[in-house]
Amino acid sequence: MSEIRFDDRVAIVTGAGGGLGKQHALELARRGAKLVINDLGGSMDGTGGNSAAAEEVVAEIKAMGGEAIANGSSVSDDAGVQKMIDDTMNAFGRIDIIIANAGILRDKSFSKMTMDDINLVLDVHLRGTFKPVHAAWNIMKEQNYGRIVVTTSSTGLYGNFGQANYGAGKLGVVGMMNTLKIEGAKNNIKVNAVCPIAATRMTEGLMPQAMLDNLKPEYVTPGVMNLVKDDAPTGMILSAGAGAFSMAQIVETNGAFVGQGDALTAEAVAAKWDEITDTSTQTHFDSGSGHGQNIFARLQEAAAKA
């Protein structure tokens, strides 16, 4: 199998001062990419900030003979995001890859969660993914090339106690991906999601040390390289951790036609509940139209039997 290379590609990695983002950036650099290391340098809850972490990663890349610049913009700030894009274009003249990795936590049970906790986490995870991608989108369209990875989470896909804000943001970026994979197709822009499990400062207090030892951030990165390579898939959720990888999908059962008019009652739905929820046949749809087609297929089947 041929080596995956990124020679002459320019990549922005947000939240790349440490953890997963740093590993993604270093591996891209090893494989020939030019890097923009974005990191606000704030604490885990989003407060404070300096560019020291980003500068250290830039120094590592330069020490290995690569090219990189640091950017300390907040991904949730419009002017800061535009500066990140401008810095990239001024330094390298193009943007081929964006890995939206920046994140914070404000974990609390829902009853104790404040609106500040909700807004800040959504600003960083959801809007902080939208804004850099939106700012670079037309550049990628004009190039007829783009590779984008958004970072989702098992909390967004499946739920986790005390993380309603985080989960909402993390599933939100999947919704973003599902539309951008369609809109970007004609311009060779591919958009995927990674669902990582790794020992970072965001997880170090949540798991025992023996488990953390198996969850090095660099064990996720090889999967991410496959999401941004030239022949990458698009619209995929890749789960990754401890050197193991799997594909996550949203699926829907075939369901059942219950009735219309007077025949359609809550009791009639209850009577067909087992058929509606039968998981023996499930489908993953490539777009929202597939969801509608599934519903109308049940209607047509019922009409054929009438």
| Non-local CB neighbours of 278 within 8 Å, separated by 6+ positions | 253, 254
Contacts 24+ apart (CB under 8 A), 64-69: 64/29, 64/30, 66/29, 66/30, 66/33, 66/34, 66/35, 67/29, 67/34, 67/35, 67/92, 68/25, 68/29, 68/34, 68/35, 68/36, 68/37, 69/35, 69/36, 69/37
Q: Is 173 exposed, middle or buried (0-12, 13-18, 19+ CB in 10 A)?
A: buried
Place of tokens 């850099």: 132
Give the SS3 label for residue 148: strand
**What radius of gyration do the chain's Cα atoms show?**
22
200 C-beta neighbours (distance < 10 Å), count: 22
The DSSP secondary-structure symbol of 4 reads P
83 C-beta neighbours (distance < 10 Å), count: 15
Helices 128-143 + 78-92 axis angle, to 10: 30
| Integer Cα distance of 72 and 161 in angstroms | 32
Q: What type of residue sits at position 186?
A: K
Q: Which among 145, 158, 166, 219 is annotated as catalytic?
A: 166
Give the SS3 label for residue 150: strand
| Non-local CB neighbours of 221 within 8 Å, separated by 6+ positions | 20, 23, 24, 27
Q: Is 166 a catalytic residue?
A: yes
By annotation, the residues acting in catalysis are 166
